[in-house]
Structure formats: structure tokens, C-alpha cells
Amino acid sequence: MPGLAGRMSTTIKAKISKMLDRAEDPAETLDYGYRKQQEHLQGVKKGIADVVTAKKRIQMQSKKLEEQVVKLDTQARQALSQNREDLARMALERKTAIQAELQGLDTQVTQLEQQQEQLIENEKRLRAKIEAFRTKKEVIKAQYSAAEAQVMISEAASGVGEEMADLGLAMQRAEEKTEDMKARANAVGELEQAGVFEDITQLEGGSSDIDRELAQLSQGAQVDDELAKMKAELGSGSDSPALEEGQK
Amino acid sequence: MIVRISGEGQFRLPDNDAERLNDLDNEAVTAVEAGDEDKFQSLFDQMLSLVESDGEAVAEDELVESDVILPPRDVSFEEAAGEFTGEGLIPD
């Protein structure tokens, strides 16, 4: 596809200019620009709050899943000590699936944290620019003729406008990522409701769609390895505690 | 020359960096077109490094427009392909 693409930098500049164009013309910006900018800052604050909420939800889920990993591991050991390799395998399959899910969650939390920090920095910068704009406007008005002042203030306004538009872009991206994360949180929630992360003791005997799904999800090799390792560990000691029916 | 890294603010660079930055930018877009993610990432990293090493942060109370705006540092290859190159610019 030769000759189609422009430079990244020019494309983004165009994107940002377009956002600026959507705003009123610079002359008008002078009059009610300040109020407009303040509104924009409110939007940023809400955006940051959304990111924080989404992050907290994912962190809570991660914690639950981590506890489940420990529990399933213990159960696999207990099952093996009772020569119930089928149950142990099921527990390890679940554990593997949950670990994969956890990894995804970790990555997303990290990304969101970065995004949150960036938005906070952006907001600070925009606030400083708005403050500078306000001061500068008054100074320019006092020192120059009306015509000159208009040009200078327009230039300053575009500087602030670009900062605002860039923040708008950052907000858009943060919102998209937050949406992605909400979707993932919901997906995990659904798996949880479907009983995928339940104790195997509660599912014993019943091989459902979920089990088949899990078997596909989990990497068989990893489960085999872990089974072998556990067997080796348990090989010597046969006094391990019995797996009680219905134990959590 | 004023360069903005989207999401990070503006930097003042010597004018003679413009050519180097443009070259890297063109190569990066070519890499995107070729679907070469590693190459794109490496070129984009070089662009960021150039701005970081030669650039001086523009003061908070200075109100200037940028000559060049680079994508956010954490831009994904998909975003670069879909949104941040000329190819992907979809008119509203």
C-alpha cells in the first residue's frame, strides 16, 4: 500500500487541529474560553474517577482469584494423596485457567495505573496553562493595542487549545481502556457465576460444559507437569490428610 | 522546533533535529504498512529518545503551538496502524 500514509506526527497534528476546530473560533475563545476550560477540567476529574473505580474492581477480583489458586492447589494435593488423580487434574486445570486470567488482570491494572498517573499529570499541566493564559491575557490587553492584543491572545489561546485537545485524546484512550477492563471484569464475573472458579469438591461427579471448556483452556502439559511433581512430593508421605466430602 | 509527545507535554528541540525526526517518522509508517511491529517499535523508541535527549521541556506558563505531535508513548501497534498513521485517518 505505498503512498497512502502520511507521517504519524502530521496525522496526530491533524487530529488535534480537528478537535480544536470543533471549538469556537479563537476570538470567541477569548471571552468564554476560561469557563470552557474549567468545564473540561471537570470532565478530566470524572475520567480519572472512572479509571480508579475500574481498577479497584479488577483488584478485588484478582485477590479473590489468588485465594482460589491457593485453595485449588491444596485440593489437588489432597485429591492425589487419596489416589484421586481425576479430581486432582480437574483442580489443576482450574488453577491453570485462573492463573492465565490473573496474568491478564495484572497487565490491565498496570496499564490503567499508568494511564491514571498520566491523566493526573495532564490535568495539572492544563491547569497551569489555563492560569498562565488568564494572566497573560490581562497583561497583553494592558500593554498592546487592541489589534495586536487580539493576535497575541489568539496565539496563546491555540497553545492552551492544543493542550486541551491533547488531554481530550488522552481521555479518549483512557476511556477505551477502562471499557476494555470493565468488559474483562464482567467476563470474569460471568465465569465466576458459572462456577468455573468454585471448589472442585462442590462439582465432584458432574462433568459440565464448563469442565470441557476448562480442559481446552488449560495447557495440558502444565497440568501434567504439576501432577507429576505433586505425585513425587507425595510419593514418600502417605499420612496426608484425607479429602473430606464437601470440604471448602 | 516544538515537539509534543501526546499525553506528556511539549519539548523544544534544535531545528536541525527536524529532518532526523521526519525520517524516523516516515520509516515508522513504512514499518506499520509492512506490518512489522518490532521495527515500528524500535523506530518509535528512537523518536522518543531523540526528543528526550535533545529536547528541553517547555515551561508550564509558556503557551505555544507544537510543530510536531508524536503519538502517546504507550501507543499500540494496532493504534498506530489504525489511527495514528495517514492510512488509518478516517474522516468524520
**pTM for this entry:** 0.68
DSSP label of B4? E
CA B83 vs. chain centroid, Å, equals 13
The confidence score (pLDDT) of residue B51 equals: 95
pLDDT tens, position by position, A143-173: 988 888 888 888 888 888 888 888 888 888 8
A46 by Cβ neighbours in 10 Å (0-12 / 13-18 / 19+) ranks as exposed
**Per-residue confidence in pLDDT tens, chain B, 92 aa:** 999 999 899 999 999 998 899 999 989 988 988 889 999 999 999 999 999 999 999 998 899 999 989 999 888 888 888 776 665 434 33
φ and ψ at residue A73, rounded to 5 degrees: -60, -45
Q: Quote the ipTM score.
A: 0.84
- Confirm or reject contact between B34 and chain A (CB < 8 A): no
How much is the average pLDDT of A95-123?
83
Residues of B in contact with A155 (CB under 8 A): 63-65
Cβ neighbours of residue B26 under 8 Å, at least 6 residues apart? A7
B69 part of contact set with chain A, CB < 8 Å: yes
Residues B68 and B21 sit within 8 Å (Cβ to Cβ): yes
Please check whether residue B55 is in contact with residue B43, taking contact to mean a CB–CB distance below 8 angstroms. Answer: no
Q: Is the pLDDT of residue A209 over 80?
A: no
Amino acid at B92: D
**Looking at CA atoms only, how far is residue A190 from chain B in angstroms?**
28
Interface A-B: count of C-beta contacts within 8 A: 105
Would you call B87 and A4 a contact, using CB atoms and an 8 Å cutoff? yes
Q: Do B69 and A170 touch (CB under 8 A)?
A: no
Across the beta sheet with B2-5, the strand order is B56-57, B9-12, B2-5, B68-70
Mutate which of A4, A9, A48 to disrupt the B interface (most B C-beta within 10 Å)? Answer: A9
pLDDT value at residue A37:
67
A162 to B6: CB separation less than 8 angstroms, yes or no: no
Q: What percent of chain A has pLDDT over 70?
A: 73
Whether B7 sits inside 8 A of A125 (CB atoms) is no
